Copies of this chain bind each other. A is one copy, B any other.
Amino acid sequence: MNITIIGLGLIGGSMGLSLKEKGLAKKVIGVDNNLHHQQKALELGLVDEVLDMNAAIAVADVVIIAIPVNAAETVLETILNRIDRQVVMDVGSTKNAICAMAAGNKNGRRFVSTHPMWGTEYSGPEAAMRGAFEDKAVVICNKENSDIDAVMAVEKIYKTLGMHIVYMDAKAHDLHAAYISHISHITSFALANTVLEKEREEDAIFELASGGFESTVRLAKSNPAMWVPIFMQNKENLLDVLNEHITQLRKFKSCLEKENYEYLLELIEHANGIKRILK
């Protein structure tokens, strides 16, 4: 089949690379507004050719939308209004708004809403990685709103990428994503700003930064063009979890202020419970 990928960044680029290597796509066609991204994607072999959007949709069997979530919603509407037989899927980190939009479109059943649970803090075609999605989970949302053949085509793509599929309601997805992924990014951005604010001696950071610091602050390198729209779309859930997180931090603060080290011990022992989930 011909696969068109709109957005040749970390996710779109990595998908192109893998789908070409696995031989699932007869041809991978790329679409990107950014000329530098177009050239890089061709150079790195992420896509076979680059076309403009209309031409790329016309020849596609499957269209993958891999751009920031606000732009994805707009582009999806444009695409749905132009297609006849094609399958369209997105790969964004928020699902409720885009699913609602598709549900109101006459061709909305050609759309399958997905979220592959893989990423890094880097962006652009240079960030694309071989074997990126292997053994990770992918969420397919509201599949009852999609045509069966469309869901099957998308499942085939993800199985080819080596992913295991989880089905979820779009609203539930956004709630879980806020707790598990989006808040991690907020805390990491805030921690980076804290350190940059308090620690004027960057040499000291550089010398002392060990693995622990690196792992908690790593996500703070992430691309704002991707994350601002995610935070906008998932605002309500995120505020809920952010309030809880500030409450939890205040408990640590209060333990230190009151020198209540028994409770501090309890808080840490409770946090150790994450071992049940993360091996």
Chain multiplicity (copies): 2
Residues of B within 8 A of A268 (CB): 189, 222, 224, 227-228
Given contacts A187-B187, A188-B216, A198-B240, 18 further A-B contacts (CB under 8 A): A117-B208, A118-B211, A176-B201, A184-B216, A184-B217, A187-B249, A190-B251, A192-B272, A196-B273, A197-B244, A197-B248, A198-B244, A206-B277, A212-B219, A216-B219, A222-B272, A239-B256, A243-B253
Residue of A177, A194, A220 most packed against chain B (CB within 10 A): A194
Q: What does DSSP make chain A's interface, helix, strand, loop or mixed?
A: helix
A274 touches B217 (CB 8 A): yes
A179 near B193: Cβ-Cβ < 8 Å: no
Q: Is the CB of B189 within 8 A of A271?
A: yes
Complex Cα distance, B181 from A216, in Å, reads: 10
Interface pair B249/A195, CB less than 8 Å apart:
no
Q: Are B253 and A213 in contact (CB under 8 A)?
A: no
User: For the complex, what is the distance from the CA of A241 to the CA of B197, rounded to whole Å?
Assistant: 10
- Tell me which residues across on chain B come within 8 A of A179, comparing CB atoms: 194-195, 198-199, 205
